[in-house]
Structure 1
């Protein structure tokens, strides 16, 4: 066996260029296959870890995926708002332990602005029930104070004490900015790997205050000064959505039904986990398409290796005949070709795994910044080991084709080669 291994090694060394190209082909296939799998699973994990310990999300009547996207992931816009009286009614429901009101609609240099209150910093949980924490400063207390996420601070170079201008709506253009009412950054949240990092947080009252003199997105009158606004009461009239935590999980469905049939205004209450499952169902076609593309790339890589082995086999018929003349049996010739294919596949997989981790290490900050997906540099999972095993097995099976052909030729060629 050692002799066969030595021969296989020397044979690969004699065909360095072909072997390197074959290894690179397999490596690229493995990088794509495992990369798609890693990003797919990490994307699901990142989405699932965005919100924790919240039993219900309530918003205007809408589809549950749409409500989940705009209230949690800051994607899209609400179809309707919730009246403040309705919020107060459900906030004081005997089954409710806590509520977090959310008001959306404004932005700052591409980052969403969210109005909320103290409950957000006290009760919001992400990941494995992890609370929000501050890397600098504290939560807002004044009307024109703001707390920003870690990505906002990093991208825009803000620190505690910085002044920012909020714009009306999603487009941050000159005519839509509330430039007479700057906000002071009083706190920066620690990184969470969730949309919290990309959010500018202000009070609900501040959202109402900056829109004095605005109607339907248009600036219709003079904006009072900050000192004048500080003297007014800005209890909100409406909010965009609210997060609810219950005293008992048993009451989830009863309160959900009560909200969905609320007679005073059309509302929707969703369970975050159920909405996420629906979202995964919608994305399953794209996942399957990506995985299919990855599999076909692996197949093309292995077929490239097969083509290389078959091409070189025609040139090595004399080598095989000499080995037979020196006492090698047909099974030895067969084993030699299978070992070569197996070795090339193994090295290709190793290079691919190393290349994958190097690539993820280089691009994962960009993925997190642009898409909010935290790609953890974890070890190889059991499912990934299974994918690697399938690639290795496929490489061995591919090696059987030239090996069987060499086996037959070595029996018939002898020392006379018919080419």
Structure 2
């Protein structure tokens, strides 16, 4: 068997000018599948860890998925708001450690604006409880002196070319496709901090204080500016800027064991219809809706691999007519039909294994080199770690499928007769 394997290897090498393209095709298909499986896993993990260290998200009663969409991903708008009195009532619960209110509704050149407190940068985490890091500058002070200060995410800074000290103005509402809205141009903000990339919606967000949002809307009513009611930026500091209502609130507990107790307290709160959502559970439901695309990508990659396997079978079948005399000579010197069958099957196995190994190497090197770019440009974190069990399973599946595909040409060669090989048809 070892001699037959050596003959198969040498035979494949002798026809390397033809088989090299099959190997390249298999390598690319394997690399694509290998990379997509890692990407699929890491995107799912990153999605599930978009918010970490938060035990509950409290908002007006709606659907858990909707609450997650606007409070964590800043997509859409809240159907209702909750009062700050309710937020304070939740904060006073004996099991609650901290509460961070959130207010959404404005935007800057298509990027959402989040109103919050300086505690947000202390308590909000992502991934495996990784804290937010200020790459340059500092967080806004949350005082009247620093009323018009803004902290921007990494993607906002990169895409718009902003740096510290940049003057920006906000637009009223979420103008996703219109970047020229400057409804609050009379109250410009100064960028005082830029956050490090996180691969989460934080990268696409402009953060300001809750008091700043109140100052912006002092002279607004019903979603429109009041005629003749303009209040200059400096004069806004003289008003009471404590918010009356917010969009949602992040809640951290003293112990995770109290999560159901606090959740029940929120849902049974008498003064207002509220709901408390555990982020992990809601993110799982949301991924069930949004994760259909990963299966489509995997199906496309599988089709690419299948086409590569068929190309291998086609190349071997096309070369059989040219090798009929070679195979007949092997039969004439004593090789039995099973040897011919084994030879062709082993050749296919060599080609398959070479292509798969080359694809795995190509994918690992490509991911190692491309991970920083994906993190900075697309906000996708690829873990440079040991291959996943599912990745190995995919590689083994390709090898087994390739071996199965090579049996077709091998079976045809097996059925070639000695006489037909020595006297080929003209």
When normalised by structure 1's length, the TM-score is: 0.91
Distance 2:181 2:279 in 1: 37
2:357 pairs with 322, 340, 350, which one? 350
Question: For residue 52 of structure 1, what is the aligned residue in structure 2?
Answer: 52
Question: For residue 22 of structure 1, what is the aligned residue in structure 2?
Answer: 22
Is 1:292 aligned to residue 299 of structure 2? yes
Distance 2:420 2:180 in 1: 83
Question: For residue 270 of structure 1, what is the aligned residue in structure 2?
Answer: 277
Distance 2:181 2:22 in 1: 59
Q: Is the CA contact (8 Å cut-off) linking 1:139 and 1:147 kept in structure 2?
A: yes
Distance 1:23 1:216 in 2: 65
Q: Is the CA contact (8 Å cut-off) linking 2:43 and 2:381 kept in structure 1?
A: yes
Give the superposition deviation at 1:242: 0.5
Give the superposition deviation at 1:282: 2.3
Question: For residue 183 of structure 1, what is the aligned residue in structure 2?
Answer: 189
Question: For residue 215 of structure 2, what is the aligned residue in structure 1?
Answer: 209
Query: What does 1:56-75 correspond to in 2, within 5 Å?
Result: 56-75=56-75
Provide the secondary structure at the position in 2 that maps to 1:348. helix
2:413 pairs with 395, 403, 406, which one? 406
Question: For residue 237 of structure 2, what is the aligned residue in structure 1?
Answer: 230
Question: For residue 136 of structure 1, what is the aligned residue in structure 2?
Answer: 136
Provide the secondary structure at the position in 2 that maps to 1:170. coil
Q: Is the CA contact (8 Å cut-off) linking 2:197 and 2:379 kept in structure 1?
A: no
Provide the secondary structure at the position in 1 that maps to 2:422. coil
Provide the secondary structure at the position in 1 that maps to 2:416. helix
Aligned length: 419
Question: For residue 335 of structure 1, what is the aligned residue in structure 2?
Answer: 342
Question: For residue 150 of structure 2, what is the aligned residue in structure 1?
Answer: 146
Question: For residue 168 of structure 2, what is the aligned residue in structure 1?
Answer: 164
Provide the secondary structure at the position in 1 that maps to 2:415. helix
Question: For residue 101 of structure 1, what is the aligned residue in structure 2?
Answer: 101
When normalised by structure 2's length, the TM-score is: 0.90
Provide the secondary structure at the position in 1 that maps to 2:102. strand
Give the superposition deviation at 1:337: 0.9
Q: Which range is displaced more, 36-45 or 214-223?
A: 214-223
Query: RMSD of the alignment, in Å?
Result: 2.4
1:193 pairs with 191, 194, 199, which one? 199
Query: What does 1:25-40 correspond to in 2, within 5 Å?
Result: 25-40=25-40
Q: Is the CA contact (8 Å cut-off) linking 1:317 and 1:410 kept in structure 2?
A: no
Q: Which runs of 5+ in 2 are unaligned?
A: none
